[in-house]
Amino acid sequence: MAATETELLEIMAEEAMVDRSALTRSAVFTELGFQSLDVVSVLFEIEGRYGVVIEEEDMPPVTTATTLGDVLDFLLGRINAAVA
Amino acid sequence: MSGRRQVAVTGLGAISALGHSVAENWKTVCEPRSGIAPQTLDAGPHGPAPQTLPLARVAPGYEAPVEAHLGPRACNALDPFAALALCAAFEALGDAKLLDAAELRRRAGIVLGHGFGGGEALEKAFARFYGDKTARVHPTTIPRAMMSAAVSAVAMSFGIRGPVFATSSACASSAHAIAQGAALIALGQAEIVIAGGSEAMATPVSMATWQAIRALASETCRPFSARRDGLVMGEGAGVLVLEELGHARRRGATIHGELVGVGMSSDAHDLTQPALDGAVAALSQASESGGLLDAESVLISAHGTGTVLNDQNEAAAIHKVFGARGATHPVIATKSGHGHLLGGSAAVQAVIGLRALAERLAPPILNYLGPDPSCSLDLVLGQTRPITSTHLLVNAFAFGGLNCCLAFRGR
C-alpha cells in the first residue's frame, strides 16, 4: 500500500499531538516538539499501516538543518520502495 | 522528630471516585456518598465475557485542569496510574502556591508509591501479543507501565531535579512514599518533596487476579462491620507537598499540618494474612515518635479494607497500642467511599484526614450493617461527627505484611 504525504502528516499530528497546521515541509524538524517516544510511535503506526519495517539506524541523522520535508521524503521513499 | 528538621504539609491533592479534587473528595465523603458502584469490564475480543463487579472508578475528565495548564499532550503518553498521580500533584502544587515557582527547581524531590504500576498498558500489550499473535506491541508500553513513570512525568512537567524515585509496598506504598519524602527533608536532601501515590488497577486481567485471590467484596466495602466480606478496588491518587517547616514559614505558606511520626515494620509472616505484632510495631512507633500516646483525641484513619481478618487485626492493634484510649479515639474508614486505591490509599486517607482535623469534622464509615464484637472501636457512623482531635494517624497494613503508619499534628 503506497503512502501519501498527507497521510504521513496526519499520523505525525495524531501521534505527537502537534498542531497539523504547523507541519509544513519547510518547518525545522527539531523545532516541532517531537519527543523521543513520539518518533518511535510515528514509526510504529507507519509500519503497521503500510506493512514496512523502518529501522531507526537507517534514518538520516537529524540536525538543526533537517526540515520536515527531508523526513517526509525519507519515509515516503522507504515505504513506496517497499510496496513497489 | 523533635530536634530535627521538621516536616510541614503545605499542599494537598486528591483524585478518586469521590471527585477530581480535594474539595470534591471532602464534600462527597461528608454528604456522605460512596463512589462504589457496579461496573462492567469488557475484556475485548480475546477475553472472557464482560463481567460486572463493584468498583470505585474515577469519573472521566480528571485531566482537564492539567491539560489546560501544561498543554493537551500532558497525559498523552501516560498509563492512567501515572496520569492520576500527575493530576493530583498538579493540584497539590497549586494548593501550596508552588506551581512554576523557582523553589521547585532548587532542592525539591518526588517520592510516589504504587503497588502495581501500569496495568492497562501491560494488558494492551498482552492482548496484542497473545490475542492478535503479533510481537509488534506498542513502543510506549514500557515507558507507560514502569513503576517510575509517574515520578518521571511529575519531574518533567514541573522541572524537578532533586531526588526522584518510586516506592512499592502493595497497599502501603504511598505511606512509605510519604515516610521517605519526610526522611529526605529530615536528612537535608530536599526542602520540598512531592509525596503520595496512585493506582489504576480496575482493568480486566487485574480484577480477575483479585477475584482469584478471593479478596473482593460481593457487594460493597463495609469496614469493621458485621457481614463484611472483602475489599472493593478503587482508582485514584493522593499527593502531599511536604516542606521543611522553616522553609514553609519563611515563604508564608499555608500549613495544613505537620508529619510528626512514622512507624514502619514487616510481619515476616504471611503474604495475605496480617499479624498483630507487625501492626502493633508500626502503630506504636508512629504514635510514640509523634507524641500521640498522650493526646486526648487522635483521629484514626484506619486501613479498614473491609476484609474479615484485616479489620479484626487492626482493631486489636489499636487497643493494644492505645490502651483505654483505644476505645475512645474516633475511627474513620474512608475506603468505604473511595474503595481501596492500593498504592494511592494512604495518601488519599492522609488528605481527607488532614481536612477532617482542619474542619473538626469526621466523615462517617459507610455501608455499615451492625457491630462485629471483634472490632469494638469508636467508629464514626451514620453522619459526620464533630471532633476535638489534635492529631491524625493514618494506617497502612499491606499484603506481604508490610506496615507503615503516619502520625500528623493538625494546625
pLDDT tens-digit series, residues B66-122: 999 999 889 988 999 999 999 999 999 999 999 999 989 889 999 999 999 999 999
Helix (H) or strand (E) holding B361: strand B361-362
- Total domain count for chain B? 2
**Angle, nearest 10°, between helix axes B173-186 and B345-359?**
70
Q: Average pLDDT, stretch B15-27? A: 98
Question: Could you tell me the pLDDT band of residue B33, with boundaries at 50, 70 and 90?
Answer: very high
Residue B79, in any domain of the structure: yes
Residues of B in contact with A50 (CB under 8 A): none
> Would you state the cell numbers that stand for residue B243, as one nine-digit string?
516542606
Return the SS3 of A38: helix
For B229, the domain range is 8-250
Distance CA B149, CA B122 (A): 13
DSSP B131: I
Q: How far is residue B305's CA from residue B308's CA, in Å, rounded to a whole number?
A: 9
B191 and B63 co-located in one domain: yes
Question: Residue A77: CB partners within 8 Å, gap ≥ 6?
Answer: none
Is pLDDT at A38 greater than 70 in this prediction?
Answer: yes
pLDDT at B185 > cutoff 90: yes
Cα–Cα distance for residue pair B407/B205, rounded to 1 Å:
36
Looking at the structure, tell me whether residues B204 and B347 fall in a common domain: no
| B 44-103: CB under 8 A from A | 72-73, 76-77
Q: Which three cell numbers stand for residue B340?
A: 481501596
Among B224, B250, B276, identify where a domain stops: B250
**Residue B308 resides in a domain:** yes
Report how far residue A42's alpha carbon sits from residue B375's, in angstroms, rounded to the nearest whole number.
56
Residue from the list B72, B136, B143 with its beta carbon closest to the beta carbon of A37: B143
What 3-state DSSP class applies to B381? Answer: strand
Type of residue numbered B179: A
Whether pLDDT at B4 is above 80: no
Q: How confident is the model at residue A83 (pLDDT cuts 50, 70, 90)?
A: confident
pLDDT confidence of residue B244: 98
Chain B contact probe: residue of A12, A18, A37 with most B CBs at under 10 A = A37
CB contact under 8 A, B139 and A40: yes
CA B181 – CA B190 distance, rounded (Å): 9
CB contact under 8 A, A37 and B136: no
CA distance B349 to B202: 19
Catalytic residue from among B20, B176, B256, B303? B303
Q: Does B146 share its domain with B27?
A: yes
Asked if residue B1 has pLDDT above 60, the reply is: no
Which residues 3-42 of chain A have a CB within 8 Å of chain B?
16-17, 37, 40-41
Q: Which of B76, B136, B140 sits opposite A17 (nearest CB)?
A: B76
Tell me whether residues A41 and B72 touch, CB distance under 8 A.
Answer: no
Q: How confident is the model over B350-355, as a mean pLDDT?
A: 98
Residue B12, domain member (yes or no): yes
Chain B nearest-CA residue for A37: B140
Give A47's contacts in chain B (Cβ within 8 Å). 136
Beta bridge partners of B40: B52
Give the separation between CA B117 and CA B83, rounded to whole angstroms.
11
Is cis: bond before B48, omega within 30 of 0?
no
Residue A58 pLDDT > 90: no
With CA atoms as reference, report the closest residue to B350 among B84, B6, B35, B16: B16
Of the candidate ranges A34-38, B187-191, B249-253, B390-394, the one whose mean pLDDT is the lowest: A34-38
Q: What percent of chain B shows pLDDT beyond 70?
A: 99
| Residue in chain B lying closest to A40 (CA) | B139
Distance between A16 CA and the closest CA of chain B, angstroms: 8
Separation between Cα atoms, residue B106 and residue A24, nearest integer Å: 39
Q: Is residue B59 over pLDDT 80?
A: yes
Measure the CA–CA gap between B203 and B40, rounded to whole angstroms: 10
Measured in angstroms, the CA of B142 and the nearest CA of chain A are apart by 11
Q: Which of A12, A18, A19, A41 to mutate to test the interface with B (most CBs of B within 10 A)?
A: A41
Domain co-membership, B235 together with B274:
no
Specify whether B44 is located in the same domain as B105. Answer: yes
A45 touching B, CB under 8 A? no
Tell me how far apart the alpha carbons of residues B139 and B144 are, in angstroms, rounded to a whole number: 9
Taking the C-alpha atoms of residue B157 and residue B164, their distance in angstroms, rounded to an integer, is 13
Is B231 in the same domain as B288?
A: no
Last residue of a domain, one of B222, B250, B278: B250
Nearest to B139 among A16, A17, A41 (CB): A41
Characterize B338-347 residue by residue with b for buried, 16 or more Cβ atoms within 10 angstroms of its Cβ, and e for exposed: bbbbbbbbbb
pLDDT greater than 50 at residue B2: no
CA dihedral B385, B391, B397, B401 (to 10 degrees): -160
- DSSP state letter for B392: E
Residues B235, B111 share a domain: yes
User: Are B372 and B277 in contact, with CB atoms under 8 Å apart?
Assistant: no
Active site residue B329: no
Per-residue pLDDT, B3: 55
Residue B7's beta-bridge partner residues? B244, B259
Are the C-beta atoms of B242 and B5 separated by less than 8 Å? no
Distance from CA of B371 to the nearest CA of A (A): 54
Domain-embedded: residue B256 = no
Where a domain ends, among B221, B250, B279?
B250
Q: Is the pLDDT of residue B208 over 70?
A: yes
Residues of B in contact with A44 (CB under 8 A): 136, 138-139
Looking at the fold, whether B30 and B126 belong to one and the same domain comes out as yes
Whether B171 is catalytic is: yes
- Which residue do the cell numbers 486481567 mark? B205
- Give a yes or no: residue B282 inside a domain: yes
Domain at B304, CATH number:
3.40.47.10
A57-61, B101-105, B362-366, range with the lowest pLDDT:
A57-61
Report d(CA A36, CA B14) in Å as an integer: 31
- pLDDT of B44 > 50? The answer is yes
Residue of B nearest to A36 (CA): B140
DSSP strand pairing (B361-362 vs B298-301): unpaired
Catalytic annotation, pick one of B75, B87, B171, B404: B171
pLDDT 10s digits, B237-273 = 999 999 999 999 999 999 999 999 999 999 999 988 9
Looking at the fold, whether B271 and B246 belong to one and the same domain comes out as no
**Residue B332: its H or E element:** strand B330-332
Q: Is residue B240 part of a domain?
A: yes
Q: Give A31's DSSP letter.
A: G
Residues B146 and B182 in one domain: yes
B236 and B270 together in one domain: no
Give yes or no: residues B133 and B189 share one domain: yes
Annotated active-site residue B256? The verdict is: no
Q: From residue B61, how far is each of B68, B95, B230, B344 by CA, in Å?
A: 12, 20, 29, 19
Task: Tell me which chain A residues have a C-beta less than 8 angstroms from the C-beta of B138.
Answer: 41, 44
Q: Residue B73's pLDDT is what?
A: 87
Predicted complex: ipTM over 0.90: no
Q: What angle do CA B104, B106, B111 make, to 5 degrees?
A: 60
User: Coil, strand, or helix at residue B53?
Assistant: strand
pLDDT tens-place string over residues B293-321: 999 999 999 999 999 999 999 999 999 99
**Complete domains list, chain A, with CATH:** 5-83 (1.10.1200.10)
Question: What pLDDT shows up at residue B5?
Answer: 95
